[in-house]
Amino acid sequence: VKDLVVGTSGHIDHGKSALVLALTGIDPDRLKEEKARGITIELGFAHAVVDDTMCAFVDVPGHERFVRAMLAGAGGIDCVMLIVAADEGVMPQTREHFDICRLLGVKAGLVVMTKADLADEATREVVKLEIAELVAGSFLASAPIVETSARTGEGLDDLRRALSDAASRAATRPRGGAPRLPIDRVFSMRGFGTVVTGTLVSGTIPIGEELVVLPSGRLVKVRGLQVHGQPAQEVHAGQRAAVNLGGVEVSEVSRGETLAAARSLGVTRRADVELELLPGARPLRHGARVRVHQGTAELLARVSIAGAGTNEILPGDKVLARLRLESPGVLTRGDRVILRAYSPPQTVGAATVLDPAPLAAGVRSAAGLARLEALHTLDAAGALVVMVEQQGVKGLVASDATVRAGVPQDEVAATLDRLEERGLVVRAGHRLVTPKAVEGAATQLTTLLEQSHRHEPLSEGVPREEARARLGGLDRDIFEAVIAALVRRGALVDGERLAVAGHRVELVGEDARALAAVEQFYRDAGLTTPDAASVGAGTGVPRATIATVTTLLVRKKVLVKLDTLIVHRDALDRLKRDMAALKAEQPGPVRLDVATFKERYAMSRKFAIPLLEYLDRERVTRRVGDARVLI
């Protein structure tokens, strides 16, 4: 069977709940207060199989004070029954609810003229004309008007047929993709714990799934599922579900929050949108406060109109704008939200999200407007490129492809392949960046290295981390991409230190002679190496130059630093060979103590200890107590 969520809509007292009861046998008004006052206050739920369709009915209140609840219900419906009482005709909330359905983009539905038993033929004809005028040019323009009476049962079979027709036309919701369930009720059930209900607007949730509640970010696990009071193994898009959640208390979840897959939706305080003001609304000023309804949530926000100088949105206009949310919202690109005035809280329009997490840079400038215009005309992949471009060399975290640009999770890999192939985006580890930004950073890095080579010709290059810091603390993944780009074209030598290809530490004139003299001095000194002062005295090289050339020789591994000693590598090689010879002289383990070592090489303890420790490190000797054994 096909699943269909059918919502009621219409003015107070027009017989919405009575009709749902007549169709399903289930009274959607459950609350004591609803019974006492004879009106619907909260969303009501019922279900029935019509033909081969399982219809989940969401019954909304018609009272003008409860439009908020109506909106929470309307967000998840596939098909609307617009209800008009035959004895009253089209009334204010008939219009408002109908506006909301239209603005939300509900695609299927029908009109029901209820209380047919209370109006004569002529009155009903007038009401039909009113209805025709209301729905002209809309998705309901050619929908049937079914006349019913919950009292006499008249027209109920016609209604079932019309519902079945509408069901066949209604699009099914995407079962693939990430699950998203705006929560409309939270309660605790004995023996189960926390239960939330709502309509799954996309994806599939199996038992055992780990999800997240947003915006709070609490991690939860699905312990059990019910659809229309029956246990289920999984629920899919288009079904109303009760979800038993582990890992969270009833007090920690509330209506308006969203149950979703981790990393599929973002939490935001800012959203760039295309805003549409209803023809009947009052002009909306730049900076005006509005109520934003998304899913089951209501948030307060201020409207910033994009572009310089536009201070007002006129009725019937569509403009690009930014919503600055006063509390965190759960939004993704493509979401449709309803806007109501702050006071009185009438429905004034709707908005489609273009970027749910824009940077703080404003939208009042020409550049800000141009960016929104681009986001407006592009598909998700195109929008992703704009978002990546805007991040510059900082790049965009790859998960934002879904969270921000709205590329479905299972299409991200293919989309990025395509964008990379076309040279629009580069994947740098966990980030996305434009080739242009990588190039910019590459040029910067090259300039930086060239400068450094000029200032320190004796240095073999700039240490990696230092280079990264000097590029403004570039993200590690992007830094690696920049290096890779330069290496690929042979412009950079990669290593612990970075250098421009072709950079040679070459000493000329005085410096070259100093280097040779110092090296020769150390070579001659053998194992008992001189201190800096005697190097100066022995070579005649100035102190500062000695320091530079020594550092260079150490870096080139011609000289080796052993604690406080500096020893020529030839001397160390000779020492190792001597040790090997010593071992070869006699069979069995050869012991060597500090005194013997000192004597053999005619040196003091100051030299013997670092040299023996060096031999230990090189695994020529092994320390046993105070002595060594040759290995």
Ligand X SMILES: Nc1nc2c(ncn2[C@@H]2O[C@H](COP(=O)(O)OP(=O)(O)OP(=O)(O)O)[C@@H](O)[C@H]2O)c(=O)[nH]1
Task: Show the DSSP H helices in 460-508 as ranges.
Answer: 464-470, 476-488
* Helix/strand/coil for 443: helix
Angle at which helices 509-525 and 543-555 cross, to 10°: 70
199-238 mask for ligand X (x: CB under 6 A)? ----------------------------------------
Judged by beta carbon distances under 5 to 8 A according to partner kind, the member of Mg ion, ligand X, none in contact with residue 205 is: none
* Helix/strand/coil for 209: coil
What is the smallest separation between the CB atom of 346 and ligand X, expressed in angstroms? 17
- List the one residue from 14, 16, 291, 322 that touches Mg ion (CB under 5 A): 16
**Contact region for ligand X (CB under 6 A) — 144-152, 387-395, 451-459, 597-605?**
144-152
Nearer CB in complex with ligand X: 17/304: 17
Judged by beta carbon distances under 5 to 8 A according to partner kind, the member of ligand X, Mg ion, none in contact with residue 304 is: none
Task: Show the DSSP H helices in 275-365 as ranges.
Answer: none
**Contact region for Mg ion (CB under 5 A) — 35-43, 149-157, 161-169, 204-212?**
35-43
Nearer CB in complex with ligand X: 56/492: 56
Q: Is 151 in the site for ligand X (CB under 6 A)?
A: yes
Q: Assign 3-class secondary structure to 210-233.
A: EEEEECCCEEEEEEEEEECCEECC
Q: From its phi and psi, is residue 95 left (phi > 0), alpha (psi between -120 and 50) or beta?
A: alpha
Nearer CB in complex with ligand X: 16/497: 16
Is the separation of the CB atoms in 579 and 615 below 8 Å?
yes
What is the smallest separation between the CB atom of 85 and ligand X, expressed in angstroms? 8
What is the smallest separation between the CB atom of 40 and Mg ion, expressed in angstroms? 3
**Contact region for Mg ion (CB under 5 A) — 14-22, 122-130, 363-371, 469-477?**
14-22
Q: Is 332 in the site for Mg ion (CB under 5 A)?
A: no
Report which of 364, 537, 554 is spatially closest to residue 459, judged by C-alpha positions: 554
Report which of 328, 331, 316, 326 is spatially closest to residue 275, judged by C-alpha positions: 316
What is the smallest separation between the CB atom of 329 and ligand X, expressed in angstroms? 28
Nearer CB in complex with ligand X: 27/252: 27
Is the separation of the CB atoms in 203 and 177 below 8 Å?
yes
**Contact region for ligand X (CB under 6 A) — 146-154, 170-178, 413-421, 508-516?**
146-154
The sign of the dihedral angle between the CA atoms of 368, 372, 378, 383 is positive
Judged by beta carbon distances under 5 to 8 A according to partner kind, the member of ligand X, Mg ion, none in contact with residue 527 is: none
Position 95: which residue type? R
Is the separation of the CB atoms in 452 and 505 below 8 Å?
no
Task: Show the DSSP H helices in 38-120 as ranges.
Answer: 67-74, 92-104
**Contact region for ligand X (CB under 6 A) — 10-18, 72-80, 195-203, 452-460?**
10-18
Q: Is 17 in the site for ligand X (CB under 6 A)?
A: yes
Judged by beta carbon distances under 5 to 8 A according to partner kind, the member of ligand X, Mg ion, none in contact with residue 99 is: none
Q: Is 115 in the site for Mg ion (CB under 5 A)?
A: no
- Cis status of the peptide bond prior to 215, with omega within 30 of 0: yes
Q: Is 12 in the site for ligand X (CB under 6 A)?
A: yes
Binding to ligand X (CB under 6 A) within 105-124 occurs at: 114-115, 117-118
Q: How far apart are CA 114 and CA 497, in angstroms?
A: 81
Q: Is 24 in the site for Mg ion (CB under 5 A)?
A: no
Binding to ligand X (CB under 6 A) within 536-595 occurs at: none
Position 120: which residue type? D
Judged by beta carbon distances under 5 to 8 A according to partner kind, the member of ligand X, Mg ion, none in contact with residue 63 is: ligand X
Report which of 319, 284, 323, 320 is spatially closest to residue 303, judged by C-alpha positions: 323
Is the separation of the CB atoms in 355 and 391 below 8 Å?
no
Nearer CB in complex with ligand X: 14/228: 14
Q: How far apart are CA 555 and CA 76, in angstroms?
A: 68
Judged by beta carbon distances under 5 to 8 A according to partner kind, the member of Mg ion, ligand X, none in contact with residue 150 is: ligand X
**Contact region for ligand X (CB under 6 A) — 9-17, 399-407, 554-562, 621-629?**
9-17
Nearer CB in complex with Mg ion: 81/195: 81
Binding to ligand X (CB under 6 A) within 18-77 occurs at: 18, 38-40, 61-63
Joined together, the tokens standing for residue 467 give 């280079």
What is the smallest separation between the CB atom of 287 and Mg ion, expressed in angstroms? 37
Nearer CB in complex with ligand X: 118/378: 118
Q: How far apart are CA 341 and CA 289, in angstroms?
A: 7
Judged by beta carbon distances under 5 to 8 A according to partner kind, the member of ligand X, Mg ion, none in contact with residue 74 is: none
Position 97: which residue type? H
Q: Is 17 in the site for Mg ion (CB under 5 A)?
A: yes
Joined together, the tokens standing for residue 302 give 């201020």
- List the one residue from 40, 202, 268, 294 that touches Mg ion (CB under 5 A): 40
What is the smallest separation between the CB atom of 16 and Mg ion, expressed in angstroms? 5
**Quick one: how far is CA 26 from the chain centroid?**
41
Q: Is 631 in the site for ligand X (CB under 6 A)?
A: no
Report which of 225, 170, 161, 143 is spatially closest to residue 3, judged by C-alpha positions: 170
Residue nearest to ligand X (CB): 62
Query: Strand 210-214 vs strand 258-260: parallel, antiparallel, or unpaired?
Result: antiparallel
CA distances from 21 to 30, 150, 455 (A): 12, 8, 86
Q: Which residues bind ligand X (CB under 6 A)?
A: 12-18, 38-40, 61-63, 114-115, 117-118, 149-151
Q: Which residues bind Mg ion (CB under 5 A)?
A: 16-17, 40
